[in-house]
With several copies, the nearest count.
Chain A
Amino acid sequence: MTARAGADVPVEASVEQVRAQVAAWLAENWQPGGGGPQWRERLVDSGWAAPTWPVEWFGRGLHRDLRRVVAEEFTRAGAKPAALDVTQLFANTILAHGTDEQKRSFVRPLALGEQQGCLLYSEPGAGSDLAALQTRAERDGDTWVVNGQKVWTSGAREATHGFLVARTDWDVPKHRGLTFFWLPLDQPGVDIRPIHQVTGGSEFNEVFLTDAVVADSHRLGEVDGGWRVLQTALGFERLIMGAAAGGSSRQRRPAGGGETTLADRQSPWTRQIGGADYVELAKKVGKADDPVTRQEIARLYTLEKVNAWNGLRARADAGRGASSPLASIGKLAMSRIVHTGVSVTTNLLGTSSVLDGDTDPVAAEVNRSSFAAFVTSIGGGTDQIQRNIIGERVLGLPREPEVDKLVPFREVRKAQATRRFS
Chain B
Amino acid sequence: MLTTGQYLGSTGRLEATVGTFEFTDDHEALRSTVRAFVEETFPEAQVRRLMAAPSALERPVWERMARELGLQGLVVPEEHGGAGAGPVELAIVLEEFGRRLVPVPFLSTALATIALTGGDRAVTAGYLEAVAEGRVVATVALAEDDGGWDAAGVHCAAVSDDGDGGAGDRGGWRLTGTKSFVPDGMDADLLVVAARTPAGVGLFAVDGAADGVSRSELEVFDLTRRLARVRLDGVAATPLSAPADTAAFDRFLDAARVAVAAEQAGGADFTLAMAVGYAKERVQFGRAIGSFQAIKHLCADALVDVESARSAAYYGAWAIAQDSPEVATVAPLAKAFCSDTFFATAQTNMQVHGGISFTYEHPAHLYYRRAKSGAQLWGSPRANRDLLATRIGL
Contact = CB atoms under 8 A, between A and B. Distances in A.
A and B touch in the complex (CB under 8 A): yes
Interface of A: 68, 122, 124-129, 132, 151-152, 195-199, 246-248, 250-253, 275-277, 279, 282-283, 288-289, 291-295, 297-299, 301-302, 304-310, 312-313, 315-317, 319-320, 325-326, 329, 332-333, 336, 339, 346-347, 350-360, 363-364, 367, 370-371, 374-375, 377-379, 382-384, 386-388, 390-392, 394-404, 407, 412-415, 419, 421-422
A403 B330 CA distance: 47
A375 B359 CA distance: 11
Contacts of A197: 358-360
Contacts of B294: 384, 387-388
Contacts of B330: 305
A382 B351 contact: yes
A364 to B, nearest CB: 8
Interface string B306-342: 0111111011000000000000011001001100000
Interface string B343-354: 000010011001
28 contacts: A122-B355, A124-B356, A297-B389, A305-B312, A306-B312, A306-B333, A308-B7, A308-B9, A309-B20, A312-B20, A313-B20, A313-B310, A326-B307, A332-B304, A346-B376, A350-B380, A351-B148, A352-B147, A354-B376, A356-B221, A364-B219, A382-B354, A383-B351, A397-B299, A400-B292, A401-B291, A414-B286, A415-B283
A252 B8 contact: yes
A38 to B, nearest CB: 34
Contacts of A339: 347
A312 B315 CA distance: 10
Given A122-B355, A313-B20, A398-B290, 5 more contacts: A310-B311, A329-B307, A359-B219, A388-B293, A391-B290
A2 to B, nearest CB: 33
A133 B297 CA distance: 26
Interface size class of B (residues with CB under 8 A): 35 or more
Contacts of A359: 218-220
Contact of A298 (B147, B376, B386): B386
Contact of B358 (A250, A305, A375, A394): A375
B393 to A, nearest CB: 5
A54 B295 CA distance: 46
Contact of A397 (B21, B23, B290): B290
A92 B9 CA distance: 32
Nearest to A359: B219
A274 to B, nearest CB: 10
Counting chain B CB atoms within 10 Å of each CB, which of A196, A292, A390, A413 scores highest? A390
A18 B288 CA distance: 53
B358 A371 contact: yes
Given A253-B8, A400-B291, A377 B351 contact: yes
Q: Which 5 A-B pairs have the closest CB atoms?
A: A351-B147, A404-B286, A357-B219, A391-B296, A306-B308
A316 B20 contact: yes
Interface in B200-251: 218-222, 227
Given A199-B358, A312-B20, A350 B376 contact: yes
Interface stretch (B10-18, B39-47, B116-124): B10-18
B303 interface: yes
A403 B293 contact: no
Contacts of B351: 374, 377-378, 382-384
Given A310-B307, A370-B372, A415-B282, A295 B382 contact: yes
Interface of B: 1-2, 5, 7-12, 17, 20-23, 143, 147-149, 181, 218-222, 227, 276, 279-280, 282-297, 299-301, 303-304, 307-312, 314-315, 329-330, 333, 336-337, 347, 350-351, 354-362, 365, 368, 372-373, 376-377, 380, 382, 385-386, 388-390, 392-394
Counting chain B CB atoms within 10 Å of each CB, which of A132, A292, A313, A371 scores highest? A313
A156 to B, nearest CB: 15
A52 to B, nearest CB: 16
B385 A294 contact: yes
A356 B219 contact: yes
A282 B394 contact: yes
Contacts of A307: 308
Given A378-B354, A384-B297, A277 B12 contact: yes
A354 B307 contact: no
A198 B386 contact: no
A87 B360 CA distance: 30
Nearest to A378: B354
Contacts of A294: 385-386, 389-390, 394
B254 to A, nearest CB: 16
Nearest to A346: B372
B333 to A, nearest CB: 5
Contacts of B355: 122, 127, 151-152, 378-379
Contacts of A346: 372, 376
Contacts of B219: 355-360, 364
A396 B287 CA distance: 15
A289 to B, nearest CB: 8
A401 B226 CA distance: 47
A413 B382 contact: no
Contact of A329 (B2, B297, B303, B362): B303
A292 B283 CA distance: 42
A399 B382 CA distance: 38
